[in-house]
Structure 1
Amino acid sequence: MTSPTALRKAVETYWAAAEARDWETFAGTLADDVVYELPQSRERIRGKERYVQFNKEYPGDWHAQVLRIVAEGDEAVSWILMREGLRESYAVNLFTADASGRIAAITDFWPEPYEPPFGRDHLTERY
């Protein structure tokens, strides 16, 4: 089992390398047989080479800010704020490590923001 500290470091390095567009370091965080899934679009990418290429080719001038990482055993979760120009979106990312501490599986959830239903503003505050 991977230590939570090792996986947390791998996830921190993953995001820092993605932000820097340092694809060699980014690839170094990944297992050769990494599996990446996007449930909203029902897409799956298998293998380090294809996943790194997917990120290299991702359009736009995006920037990821890590808001939180929680790691336990061989699993970790990150919550990020993605900025692309004036557009901001949040994502939750699930990571699983292999025995060597490299990232073996990633599932990204990119929920769409929405306006809250009418009638509960007396209970909530907007930010």
Structure 2
Amino acid sequence: MQEDKIREALDAHWSASAAGDLDAEHDIYDDDAVCDYPQSGERIIGRSNLQALRSHHPDKPSGFNVRRIQGEGNLWVTEYTIAYEGRAAYTVSIMEFCDGKVIHETQYFSDPFEAPGWRSQWVQQIA
């Protein structure tokens, strides 16, 4: 699959994710896709299980913002924030494609933290 087609598929995927359209959100995945959550030690096998898991999440996102998408060939990374109950989780999604579908995704979730004052002379604050 050409990179422009993958980028279109990613844009559609993240737009559907933000809109809560579970069917369109999961069109990007192969039937046998694997999704790993390393921080919790979980692996979801199969598009149907991934969609079912996400459809049963007790908290629906109240905000969703893609910060950037970068990739080439069959490996693509998306940085985004997702808000639950007004609190942002900074998220990285690493997707591997084969024949135009995601066959493996790894997602990392991180809570924001307060910057320590001791390093303020060397940094700039970003949004």
* TM-score for the superposition, normalised by structure 1: 0.88
Question: How big is the alpha-carbon RMSD for the aligned residues of Structure 1 and Structure 2?
Answer: 1.5
How far apart are residue 122 of structure 1 and its match?
Answer: 1.0
CA drift of 1:52 comes to 0.6
Question: Are 2:23 and 1:5 equivalent residues in the alignment?
Answer: no
User: How many residues in Structure 1 have an aligned counterpart in Structure 2?
Assistant: 125
Moved more, 64-73 or 110-119: 110-119
Kindly indicate whether structure 1 or structure 2 has the higher relative contact order, using CA contacts under 8 Å at least 6 residues apart.
1
What is the alpha-carbon distance in structure 2 between the residues aligned to residue 59 and residue 11 of structure 1? 25
Q: Which residue of 2 aligns with 1:54?
A: 53
1:3-30 alpha-carbon deviations (Å, 9 max, x no partner)? 2212212221111112222222122211
The one-letter code matched in structure 1 to 2:19 is A
**Distance between the aligned counterparts of 2:58 and 2:65, measured in 1?**
18
Aligned to 2:110, what secondary structure does the other structure show? coil
Whether 1:82 aligns to 2:82 is: yes
Cα offset, 1:117, TM superposition: 3.8
Match of 1:38, as an amino acid?
Y
**Aligned mates of 2:14, 2:89 — CA distance in 1:** 16
Query: Could you tell me how far 1:94 is from its partner in structure 2?
Result: 0.3
Is the contact between residue 74 and residue 97 of structure 2 (CA under 8 Å) also seen in structure 1? yes
The TM-score, its normalising length taken from structure 2, stands at 0.88
What is the CA-CA distance between 1:118 and the residue it aligns to? 4.4
* Gap runs ≥5 in structure 1: none
Once the two structures are superposed, residues 83-117 of structure 1 have per-residue CA deviations (whole angstroms, 9 ceiling, x without a partner) of 22321121111011112x11111110112333334
Identity of aligned residues (%): 26
Report the Cα distance in structure 2 between the residues aligned to 1:72 and 1:66, rounded to whole angstroms. 18
| Contact 2:88–2:112, Cα closer than 8 Å, also in 1 | no
**Given that residues 36 and 107 in structure 2 are in contact (C-alpha distance below 8 angstroms), is that contact kept between their aligned partners in structure 1?**
yes
The residue aligned with 2:115 is: 116
Match of 1:103? 102
